[in-house]
Amino acid sequence: SLRRHLSIRGNSSGGRPHQCGVCTRTFARRHDLERHTRVHTGIKPYVCPCCLKAFPRSDARGRHFRN
């Protein structure tokens, strides 16, 4: 949809309105900025049920678990 496209790619006025308050990275979607902030906070909410290793993102835990 157009609304989703604009949220991902932005509009003609720039397209990356969400800026990290710690570093200079910018993001088109707020969700991506929120996920990025875990790099700075060290929060790792996704834990492997087998070895209890923690990960900042669910996809990283998934890759770990499959290997």
pLDDT of 63 over the 90 cut: yes
DSSP strand pairing (46-47 vs 26-27): unpaired
C-beta of residue 8 within 8 angstroms of C-beta of residue 18: no
Among 25, 33, 29, smallest CA distance to 6 is for 29
Q: Are 44 and 62 in contact (CB under 8 A)?
A: no
Task: Name which residue leads in pLDDT, 50 or 5.
Answer: 50
Write the CATH number for 26.
3.30.160.60
Give the structural domain span for 7.
2-66
pLDDT in tens, 22-56: 998 999 999 999 999 998 999 999 999 999 999 99
Rounded to an integer, the average pLDDT of 6-16 is 62
pLDDT of residue 11: 52
Total of domains in the chain: 1
* Contact (CB, 8 A) for 36 and 20: yes
Q: Is the pTM of this model over 0.75?
A: no
DSSP state of 13: T
